[in-house]
Amino acid sequence: MLETEQVKKEIINIIADIAPDENLDSLDGAKSLRDQLDLDSMDFLDIVMELRKRHQIEVPQEDYPKLATLDGCVEYLSPKFQ
Torsion of CA 67, 69, 70, 76, to 10 degrees: -40
pLDDT score at 33: 94
- Asked if 50 contacts 18 with a C-beta cutoff of 8 angstroms, the reply is yes
**Residues in the chain, overall count:** 82
Per-residue model confidence (pLDDT) at position 46: 96
pLDDT at 4 over 80: yes
Whether residue 12 has pLDDT greater than 90: yes
Of 22, 21, 37, the residue nearest 70 (C-alpha) = 37
Q: Dump pLDDT digits (tens) for 35-65.
A: 999 889 999 999 999 999 999 999 999 999 9
What is the CATH number that goes with domain 4-80?
A: 1.10.1200.10
Domains of the chain, by residue range, sit at: 4-80
| Sign of the dihedral defined by the CA atoms of residues 48, 51, 56, 62, in that order | negative
- The mean pLDDT value of the chain amounts to 93
